[in-house]
Amino acid sequence: MHGLYLLAAILLEVAGTTCMRLAEGFTRPLPSVLIFVFYGLSFACITLALEKIQLSVAYAIWAGMGTALIALIGVAVFAESMSPLKWLSLAMIAAGVVGLNLDARPVEAMTAADPNEEARRWLERRVGRCHAAMRLGVEEEREARLFGQGRTVFHIENWGGFRGLVRLALRLSLMEGRGLRNARAVQLRCNDFVLPHLPPVFQGYTLLHLSDLHLDMGAGMPDALIEAVDGLQYDACVITGDFRAKTYGAYQAALDGMARVRPHLKGDIYAILGNHDSLRMAQGLEAMGVRLLLNETVALRRGGSVIHLAGIDDPHYYRADNLEKAADPIPAGGVSLLLSHSPEIYRQAASAGFDVMLAGHTHGGQICLPGGIPLIVNARAPRRYCVGAWRHQRMQGYTSVGSGASIADARFNCPPEVTLHRLLQE
């Protein structure tokens, strides 16, 4: 895809330069206007290509190929003269382009460290050989796949070009600044779950729910979250995934962002991974005291009583969720809460007997029509399960719109949130 962007950038540059010749000193209107149209589109295409192709390689190929093609058009169309020295120079440009392509590596190959053997062994010990192999296998096969894989057919968050187009549209419509400010104005929301069989000692037990942090999305994202959580009162913190902005590539910036947020969180912290997260992030997150629940369950204890908190790996794109493994240790009749990145597995979770399900992923649409009506929610679930509190059969649920933003660093008619969930017996 990014090679096609570069090819388009070259062809548009050639078209623009040809129009320069046809404009005859800006005396002919149409070619004069087309110069700016073709060059503008060419710059847009090369900007999109730079998401995956090294700057030095992309620019050299763009300039070199453009120069060579324009020289050939000069000879063929405008009957310009061609000397042996010109032919030799064109051949050298062609050789240079071939050489640059031979040495080209994708951007993420330069920035994302492959998991070394020790890290892989840690993961195998932590989640089991099969889970590690399956999750890493899908990640390494094609992290940024547009079609197929996962519970939805098309994965818009994996399309780097769409990110560029949305940002360009916001910039051109002069909405970028307002969207950015909206994305940093994190609100506090409160929700109650009434659970008649809640052990009395857990009356009022409160969970701080964070979701879709996307901490490396842009400057100030960690600070906005820190400002939102400082001073809140709660017993434990749960995070329903998506620490990273992109769905592929480097992840250290997201971990660095979490390391800044971590000291501002109190009590035990439990988290799951989302479709934007690599399993390779697990070791770094747990090293900073964030206990991941990767198809696992922990017991939350208070005054001799217990409730159960389960979490599953991403069910949306990686389909690495194993609800049976997470739910099996929970005794019948026990109060049980489930963390799932996406609400898409609400049916299975309700059938498995969970009392409460906390999710995120949808961002509530992130860019919504007035009244908070989402354009897209990117989830294979009815919209009533995609924002805020909901119920399915006997299970209560809550889907957070998240504190961060992805694809575009902007929100409209859908403010970011952190949520306090209070457990009540009645």
Please tell me the distance from the alpha carbon of residue 223 to that of residue 243, in angstroms, as a whole number. 14
Nearer to Fe ion, 275 or 295 (CB): 275
212 or 355: whose CB is closer to Fe ion? 212
Q: What are residue 388's DSSP bridge partners?
A: 399
Of 18 and 403, the one with the shorter C-beta distance to Fe ion is 403
Cβ 274 to Fe ion shortest distance, Å: 6
Q: Which is nearer to Fe ion, 330 or 379 (CB)?
A: 379
Nearest approach in angstroms of CB 402 to Fe ion is: 6
Q: How far is the CB of 358 from Fe ion (least distance, A)?
A: 14
**Euclidean distance between CA atoms 393 and 360, whole angstroms:** 20
Closest approach of Cβ 182 to Fe ion, in Å? 16
Number of residues that bind Fe ion (CB under 5 A): 2
Do residues 378 and 362 lie in contact, with contact meaning Cβ atoms separated by under 8 Å? yes
Stretch that binds Fe ion, among 145-153, 211-219, 278-286, 393-401 (CB under 5 A): 211-219
For Fe ion, the closer CB: 5 or 385: 385
Whole-Å CA distances, 326 to 310, 337, 338, 385: 6, 11, 9, 22
Which residues make beta-bridge pairs with 390? 397
Closest distance of CB 278 from Fe ion, Å: 14
Does 344 interact with Fe ion (rule: CB under 5 A)? no
Smallest distance, Fe ion to C-beta of residue 212, A: 3
State the DSSP string of 175-231: -HHHHHHHHH-PEEEEEEEE-TTS-GGGTT-EEEEE----TTSSTTHHHHHHHHHTT
CA–CA gap between residue 285 and residue 341 (Å, rounded)? 16
Stretch that binds Fe ion, among 49-57, 144-152, 207-215, 306-314 (CB under 5 A): 207-215
Q: Which residues pair with 420 in a beta bridge?
A: 190, 208
Interface stretch with Fe ion, choices 17-25, 64-72, 242-250, 345-353 (CB under 5 A): 242-250
C-beta of 139 vs 242, nearer to Fe ion: 242
Smallest distance from the beta carbon of 157 to Fe ion, in angstroms?
A: 7
In the bound state with Fe ion, the residue whose beta carbon lies nearer, of 242 and 296, is 242
Tell me which H or E stretch contains 239. strand 236-239
Give dist(CA 412, CA 17) in Å, integer: 40
Which of 139, 216, 242, 296: binder of Fe ion (CB under 5 A)? 242
Minimal distance, residue 276 CB to Fe ion, in Å: 6
The DSSP call for residue 246 is: S
Among 13, 51, 139, 212, binds Fe ion (CB under 5 A): 212
Pick between residue 170 and residue 239 the one whose CB is nearest to Fe ion.
239
Segment contacting Fe ion by CB under 5 A, of 23-31, 105-113, 206-214, 260-268? 206-214
Q: Hunting for tokens 């897209």 — which residue is that?
A: 376
Instruction: DSSP for 123-181, please give it.
Output: HHHHH-HHHHHHHHHHHHHHTT-SBSSSSSSB-GGG-HHHHHHHHHHHHHTT-HHHHHH
361, 274 Cβ separation under 8 angstroms: yes
Which range in 16-24, 52-60, 209-217, 281-289 contacts Fe ion by CB under 5 A?
Answer: 209-217
Query: Where does this chain bind Fe ion (CB under 5 A)?
Result: 212, 242
